Each structure stands twice: as structure tokens, then as C-alpha cells.
Amino acid sequence: MTERRAIVLLSGGIDSATTLAIAKRQGFAVTALSVDYGQRHRIELLAAKALAEKMGCRRHVNVPIDLRQIGGSALTDSIDVPKDHYRPDDKEIPITYVPARNTIFLSIALGLAEVENARDIFIGANALDYSGYPDCRPAFIETFETLANVATKAGVEGDAIRIQAPLLTMTKAEIIRLGAELGIDFALTTSCYDPTTDGLACGHCDSCTIRRSGFISAGVVDPTCYVTEKARSPR
């Protein structure tokens, strides 16, 4: 039987870990792909490495690409990460948006997929409980899949590339409940955009706020180590 291979973008957060677990449940032999893009929260790369090892990836590829040369984001530039600012109904795209990040990541994954003979690329994009990033929307995922199949040898030869975003329309609470059912060790994941040097989550950036409220809504214990106990989810 031919091995079914997939590339999973693995950032080290809840969404990408759950996406990895879904790909494994579907029977794929997974190559995890992380990108060291000069992000402020580089601790996520250590989390991704730990998750890839624990969850049995056949390979973990870490690609360096310095998006600090472009800047324009609080994650890659000398711009403060906003705190206590998250508003679910806010239509303004926040300064933590990294210009074209998912386009860049999926392009790297696309090249890796051709080399690895994988025809499925998984991404943990989410269009509900997120910070309003344009590259987390269904239209982006659909359009990139179209691009993938006109821009690759596999695609033009009829061996279609599929971009799978299984969390796209799920709430953060639903993702956490699913991740718990799939046996994810959430203590290995990290979400904070502005962690301390010893890895504590700030508890106040958009990502921490979304994570914390997700655990509360899901009724699952949040194992995150925050800077202050006040920021922790109730036990």
C-alpha cells in the first residue's frame, strides 16, 4: 500500500497541533513544517519541535526566512505588541498581522510537498476566533489551492494538490475540545505573541486572550504558565 503523505504547517500553537492530530487521524504520514521567520515569539519553534517528536511526525523541517527584513508587524519589527486590546467585532486588521505570512508559508509547504511526494497540505487557519488576519479566510485558502494546481508540476500533470484547513469554521473552544479528544498535550503548545525570556505567556496580547477564553469556554484546564496568576484560566 502506498504511503499517504502530507505536509502540516506546525507553529507550536493549539491550532496547528490540533491540525497535525487530525492529519495523523486521517492516516497521513506527516512531515511537519515550521518557519523561523525572525518572529518575536521564537519560543514557538521549540514547542513545534516538541510536538513533532511527541506526535510521531516522520520528519520535521524548520526553514529559516528572515521577515524582519520586511518588517511591518509587531511580531517582526520594533513595534510594541498591543495588550488588552482584543475586540472580537473589531474590523481593523491588527499590527500583529505579518504581511503575506500564510502565503509565504504555504508557498514553502508547496515546494516541500512536491519534493516529498505529498499531495495534501494542512494549515491551522481559523476564520472565527482569530485576530482578523486576511490570510485566515476561506477565500484565501480556496484561491491558494487554485494557484497550487497551476504553479506545480504535480498540478499541471493532474496530480492535484489539496490545501486542507480543517479548523477554518470552528471556534477556539471547539478546537480545544477536539484537541483534547485527540490526546494533545496542550502544555507543549504556546500562543503568546510577547513571552518573557523564560517562556512565560504575557496573558494580555490578543493571542493570549483568545487562548484563555477558549479554554474557559471549552471547560478544559489551561496549562499555560502566565506572568501573573490573575491571567490564568480558573481551575
What is the average pLDDT value for the chain, to the nearest integer? 92
Residue 231 resides in a domain: no
Domain tally for the chain?
1
Residue 209 resides in a domain: no
Residue 99 resides in a domain: yes
At 88, the pLDDT band (50, 70, 90 cuts) reads low
Q: Alpha-carbon dihedral of residues 128, 23, 117, 142, nearest 10 degrees?
A: -20
Residue 225 resides in a domain: no
Q: H or E element: which one contains 202?
A: none
Residue 86 resides in a domain: yes
The range of the structural domain enclosing residue 130 comes to: 5-190
DSSP 66-111: -GGGT--STTTSS-PPP-S---TT--SPPTT--TTHHHHHHHHHHH
Q: How many helices (H) and strands (E) does the chain have?
A: 7, 5
Cα–Cα distance, 156 to 159 (Å, whole number) = 7
Residue 133 resides in a domain: yes
Q: What is the pLDDT of residues 121-155, one digit of tens each?
A: 999 999 876 667 889 899 999 999 999 999 999 88
* Residue entry with cell 479554554: 215
Residue 104 vs residues 64, 84, 217: alpha-carbon distances, Å: 12, 29, 32
Instruction: Find the range with the poorest average confidence among 14-18, 23-27, 85-89, 115-119.
Output: 85-89
Q: Alpha-carbon dihedral of residues 139, 140, 143, 148, nearest 10 degrees?
A: -150
Candidates 63, 11, 51, 4; CA nearest to 30 is 4
pLDDT of residue 9: 98
At 175, the pLDDT band (50, 70, 90 cuts) reads very high
Cα–Cα distance, 54 to 56 (Å, whole number) = 6
Residue 224 resides in a domain: no
Residue 68 resides in a domain: yes
Asked whether residue 234 carries a pLDDT value surpassing 60, the answer given is no
| One-letter amino acid for residue 85 of the chain | H
CATH assignment of the domain containing 88:
3.40.50.620
Record the cell numbers describing residue 33, joined without a space: 513544517
The answer to whether 165 touches 175, Cβ cutoff 8 Å, is no
